[in-house]
Structure 1
Amino acid sequence: MNTFASVIHILTLLTTALMAGLFFSYSFSVNSGLSQLNDSAYLLAMQSINKAILNPVFFICFFGTVVLLPLNAYLQYDGRLTINFSLYGLSAAFYIIGLFGITILGNVPLNDTLEAFDLGNSSQEAIKAMRETFEDPWNKWHSIRTIAVIISFLLLSIATVLPKR
């Protein structure tokens, strides 16, 4: 493997691991804590988190991995359809469809709806209804994308340690 391919491979492992860790830890710590909050506090916290996550470090890892995974697979391709290449390709597919696609098509529209909700001028009934509209679907999509990114990282890791065949 040449130096450029090695650097891309390491960056791909790093960004995929970071994204898997972020989504995993969110699932098993942040969501658990948020679920204990009352409706107003929950919605306010989610609005705040949804703003805070839109930062350069997150964007570099989130979007960078969309580019790095297929690029890594391409750079690992040696003209043969090997198990390693197939695993690299599957890793890219799980990330792009299962994490990126679910985020764009499932979680982001829910986040946008929540962002537009005027928490300060809403009744308790409206606040309760917004939480019911938001929380379960958001958590369902989040669980799917968490599983997808963990599978993506697992496939990438297996392909990395398997002997080239």
Structure 2
Amino acid sequence: MGLTFLQILLGITAVSTALMGGLFYAYSCSVNPGLGRLSDIGYLSAMQSINRAILNPVFFASFLGSLALLPVCTWAYFSYSVSPGSWCVLGATFVYFIGVLGVTMAGNVPLNNALDKADLTATSAGQLAEQRAAFEERWNRLNMVRTVAAVGTVALMVAGCIGLR
């Protein structure tokens, strides 16, 4: 028996959301603690570099791919069956849109943009400390929200995949 369109769509969507969940999880448990050990100039320079490097086609394929795939997957699932699995996928869509996209766009991106404009070479040690204090704790807290939301999205997608009969 071959795979149906819905099964393939669910699988691709689950993988895409899992990639995003893994990215945010890795930041939360390794990247952010590692960066936190750096000096102010080292931390801010590294975050500038990471924030610039992540804006690439591979990241956008997963981040925006999930954004596009989740509502399509939800529509396809509900077209097939109104069941607990379809409700899980709908939940995954809302969690991703609010907890991942919303937090990223309203919180992390403005912080990244403000940091990107900073000329760290022309800043005093005191100003670097202030800039880090204004950035690091808030960015990490927002990333933790994204991590929980992204992992929740993955869990809901897995439940949706299991619920397909």
- TM-score, reference length from structure 2: 0.94
Q: Paired residue for 1:153? A: 154
1:58 to partner: Cα distance: 0.2
Query: Which 5+ residue runs of structure 1 have no aligned equivalent?
Result: none
Structure 2 residue matching 1:70: 3-state secondary structure: helix
- Within-5 A mapping of 1:1-165: 3-78=4-79, 81-162=82-163, 164=165
Q: Which has the higher contact order (CA 8 A, sep 6+)?
A: 2
What RMSD in Å do the two structures reach over aligned CA positions? 1.5
Q: Once the two structures are superposed, what CA deviation does each residue of 1:116-156 show, in whole Å capped at 9, x if it has no partner?
A: 11100001111000000000110111000100000000011
Q: Distance in 1 between matches of 2:9 and 2:55?
A: 24
* Letter in structure 1 aligned against 2:104: T
Q: Once the two structures are superposed, what CA deviation does each residue of 1:74-120 show, in whole Å capped at 9, x if it has no partner?
A: 11114754211111100011111100110011000000010011100
Contact 2:85 2:162 (C-alpha < 8 Å) held by counterparts: no
Q: Distance in 1 between matches of 2:18 and 2:80?
A: 27
Q: Distance in 2 between matches of 1:63 and 1:14?
A: 13
Q: How many residues align?
A: 164
* Letter in structure 1 aligned against 2:121: G
- TM-score, reference length from structure 1: 0.94
- Identity over the aligned pairs, expressed in percent? 39
